[in-house]
Structure 1
Amino acid sequence: MIITDNLLTSFLETRSDTEEICAPLQVEDYVVQPIVDVSPPKWHLGHTTWFFEEFILSKYSIEYERFHPEYDYVFNSYYESVGKRVIRTNRGNLSRPTVSEVYEYRDYVTSHLQNFLEENDDPKIRELIEIGIHHEKQHQELLLTDIKFILGNNPLLPKYNDTFTENPELDKVSGYSLVEEGIYKIGYDGDEFCYDNELGRHKVFLREYAISNRLISNKEYLEFIEDGGYKNTLLWHAEAWDWVQQYQIKTPLYWHTIDGQYHQYTLQGLKEVNYNAPVTHISYYEAFAFAEWRGERLPTEFEWEVAQSFFNWGVRWEWTESAYLPYPNYKKAPGALGEYNGKFMVNQKVLRGGSVATPQHHIRPTYRNFFHPNLRWQFTGVRLAKNL
């Protein structure tokens, strides 16, 4: 976690880390937006910069002048209370500002915020900067997954680099840990950073259950495929079955059949599927259907949080059976920052853990990620639970 005394160092490291992620890209890669859920890398660079400019410099630095009068329109994401913005589907249509201009914008805001932070020790401002740092860390993960989708949907299947390892082999024999029936505390309890959706620590009652000590592997998921899992309507929710039929889903995202063998696009390029690695890039729909096929189920987010000490995590975001809802006594932040989490608490499923794309200092047991159940461009996987 970020230590307050090192806030400036953390800020500068975060800004540098974002740009390092983009370093392997060609300039043409920065503008592509294949689908609505994927934003161009150039937009991520600008948006994370706008966040600091909009919520800190423009409000608290008297002498600050915005880099460009229209960038708040270009790089606002979903903050309705802040003002109008380019609609999400049109982010890839913006040839201007240029990539070099966006980097100039980043340097400008970084420099001004560094000077401002060195002269200002207001706890409220430091709290906003910390939120901005973690906001940018979220976008670092999105950058990697968006870059993978951009390159992975190019017919040339170009590699991102030779060093990003995304398919570590599972290091445990499959087994289950038992959790006794009882009342357990859920939610963040500490004095370091967390998001507001982790707060409202409360008690839940859990019946006795068992939870797998490792993720489902590609080999196990292949068995589901070969047993006709994608053809058996009885395994799927009605909405999910419509999705399978409409988009002709037959395998996880990025799988390709070549000469009768399954290959997988990775950030290191096209590789044969490593069957000892955890399955990835599956939707909640697929995770649920797989659990049905195995005669088991997905854990709730509360079961996952109580049991997380039994297993390693941080390799895949793990789908849970929990809807994304507020905890008891949840309170949104005042003003525009209240739009950060609360307004998305509908029609989404909670994921727990973290992934190979998640900055490691950003992972914690109470982190609540959330996506719509059909999405699978993130590094998403599945862990099973069962009743006793």
Structure 2
Amino acid sequence: MGWKRLLEEYRRVRSFSEQLCKPLAVDDYQIQSITETSPPKWHLAHVSWFFETFVLTPFQADHAPFDTDFHYLFNSYYHTVGPMHPRPQRGLLSRPTLTRVLEYRQQIDEQMEALLSREPGADRDEIAFRITLGLHHEQQHQELLLMDIKHNFWANPLRPAYRDDLKQPSGEAPPMRWLERGGGVQSIGHHGRGFAYDNETPRHSVLIYDHRLADRLITNGEFLAFIEDGGYREPALWLSDGWARLQRDGWQHPLYWELRDGQWSQFTLGGVRPLNLHEPVCHLSLYEADAYARWAGKRLPREEELELILAEQPIMGNFVESDLLHPAPAGTRSQWYGDLWAWTASPYAPYPGFRPLAGSMGEYNGKFMSSQVVLRGGSCVTASRHLRPSYRNFFYPHERWMFSGLRLAEDA
């Protein structure tokens, strides 16, 4: 990407973060409903900290920190950079104020603009890579912003809407069709052109077995049949850790569902809505997705199976740009990308020959390759430009607050 285009992309991504926050009242910026979420104010500061720490400090000779305390407050998990404020306590940071955080963003933007306006030197390629990484990092946090805002508002008994003007998805889910793929040795992983995270590399060979993939996600109506058939009461359907979590937390349905007077509703970023049976079921843990697949006599897809089909599809679907901020019925469109991240049966582990990025940026992905599971395909709150067929998202199997869904697979 040329220097001028990189500056344009920087401006576009940074402004979108602030656009996402416009519907918020000042009090909303401070909430952290669970350990997994972060206050919107913290997100806005942290992504700026990333540019300051990994771009401005090493490459802008006259850079002066906006506030030396921010180095501690807004570091997330980069232990090689220095200590950080504990994640569970981010919601306690009433200071710095939102005004102060926005001033911080403005100063970082001014200094980044100055850096990108200068004549590039020998360090051009490294600067461009770090800025590109920072922009993808901010797009990840834009998705986290919406996930976290949704949970923060759901934790409020008033169930406020993030936006009252969000359109409700329309259409129906068509009958499920199955795409059959033959087995053999195939290559997966980033092909080397354009940006990718280190966890998508290196490209390598995998052995694929004959299989079939469902061409759409499982719907609310289909998952409701699982619930009504006693799916949450049958331990034989559940992985051991999943059954223990279900018992501990009292799961009886997906996150954000509610049954009142015999009617199901669902909390969305547009507020409480009647449950649409044609929409893809969302906010599932791996355990719930796996239990449904067992109940249906199927299995979850492996990540390599999904990557191979994703590589053949255009990156089209219901993304954040669609401005629904909620999964939509498949209708007649492709549902390989967007709507919901699809759980896979693949542990988040390094590819053969994996090497993390050098230095502190190597903490970005590699150190999380333990006890997590891969999801593929993007969601209704993912930026379309952020995705690639090789993109590997990952979460712990019990987590449900992200926009996660369920696609079935079976052996052929």
- Quickly name the TM-score band, shorter chain normalised: over 0.9
Q: Secondary structure of 1:377's partner?
A: coil
Asked if the contact 2:3/2:116 (under 8 Å) is kept, the reply is: no
Asked if the contact 2:173/2:279 (under 8 Å) is kept, the reply is: no
**Residue 217 (structure 1) aligns with:** 219
Q: What are the superposed Cα offsets for residues 159-193 of structure 1, whole Å, 9 maximum, x if unpaired?
A: 11134457565554311000011111101114211
**Residues 101/353 of structure 1: CA separation in 2 closer, same or farther (3 Å cut):** same
Q: What are the superposed Cα offsets for residues 76-131 of structure 1, whole Å, 9 maximum, x if unpaired?
A: 00000000110101100010000010000000000111111111421111111111
Distance across 2 between alignment mates of 1:165 and 1:221? 23
Q: What are the superposed Cα offsets for residues 266-303 of structure 1, whole Å, 9 maximum, x if unpaired?
A: 11110001110000000000000000100100000001
* Letter paired with 1:100: T
* Letter paired with 1:30: Y
Q: Secondary structure of 1:178's partner?
A: strand
Asked if the contact 1:170/1:217 (under 8 Å) is kept, the reply is: no
Matches within 5 A, 1:1-388: 5-121=4-120, 122-164=124-166, 169=171, 172-308=174-310, 309=312, 311-312=334-335, 313-388=337-412
Q: What are the superposed Cα offsets for residues 345-370 of structure 1, whole Å, 9 maximum, x if unpaired?
A: 00000000000000111112110000
**Residues 150/347 of structure 1: CA separation in 2 closer, same or farther (3 Å cut):** same
**Residues 323/257 of structure 1: CA separation in 2 closer, same or farther (3 Å cut):** same
**Residues 345/165 of structure 1: CA separation in 2 closer, same or farther (3 Å cut):** farther
Gaps of 5+ in 1: none
Q: Secondary structure of 2:375's partner?
A: strand
Asked if the contact 2:173/2:219 (under 8 Å) is kept, the reply is: no
Asked if the contact 1:184/1:205 (under 8 Å) is kept, the reply is: yes
How many residues are treated as equivalent by the alignment?
A: 387
Asked if the contact 2:371/2:396 (under 8 Å) is kept, the reply is: yes
Asked if the contact 1:8/1:117 (under 8 Å) is kept, the reply is: yes
In the TM superposition, structure 1's runs of 4+ consecutive aligned residues that sit over 3 Å from their partners are 2-5, 163-172
Distance across 1 between alignment mates of 2:2 and 2:220? 38
Distance across 1 between alignment mates of 2:14 and 2:63? 20
Q: Secondary structure of 1:270's partner?
A: strand
* Letter paired with 2:360: A
Aligned alpha-carbon RMSD (Å): 1.3
Asked if the contact 1:211/1:307 (under 8 Å) is kept, the reply is: no
Q: What are the superposed Cα offsets for residues 199-254 of structure 1, whole Å, 9 maximum, x if unpaired?
A: 11011111110110000000000000000000000000111101001110001100
* Letter paired with 2:399: L
**Residues 166/125 of structure 1: CA separation in 2 closer, same or farther (3 Å cut):** farther
Q: Secondary structure of 2:345's partner?
A: strand
**Residues 326/167 of structure 1: CA separation in 2 closer, same or farther (3 Å cut):** farther
Distance across 1 between alignment mates of 2:119 and 2:167? 40
Q: Secondary structure of 2:389's partner?
A: coil
Q: Secondary structure of 2:247's partner?
A: helix
Asked if the contact 1:166/1:356 (under 8 Å) is kept, the reply is: no
Distance across 2 between alignment mates of 1:77 and 1:164? 31
Q: Secondary structure of 1:126's partner?
A: helix
Distance across 2 between alignment mates of 1:161 and 1:192? 35
* Letter paired with 2:260: I
Deviates more, 1:306-315 or 1:30-39: 306-315
Distance across 2 between alignment mates of 1:306 and 1:368? 13
Gaps of 5+ in 2: 314-333
CA displacement at 1:315 relative to structure 2? 0.9
Distance across 1 between alignment mates of 2:244 and 2:111? 51
Distance across 1 between alignment mates of 2:50 and 2:306? 32
CA displacement at 1:328 relative to structure 2? 1.4
Distance across 1 between alignment mates of 2:104 and 2:13? 16
**Residues 62/375 of structure 1: CA separation in 2 closer, same or farther (3 Å cut):** same
**Residues 128/120 of structure 1: CA separation in 2 closer, same or farther (3 Å cut):** farther
CA displacement at 1:4 relative to structure 2? 5.8
With normalisation by structure 1, the TM-score equals 0.97
Distance across 2 between alignment mates of 1:385 and 1:52? 41
* Letter paired with 1:372: Y
Q: Secondary structure of 2:19's partner?
A: helix
Distance across 2 between alignment mates of 1:236 and 1:4? 52
**Residues 283/165 of structure 1: CA separation in 2 closer, same or farther (3 Å cut):** farther
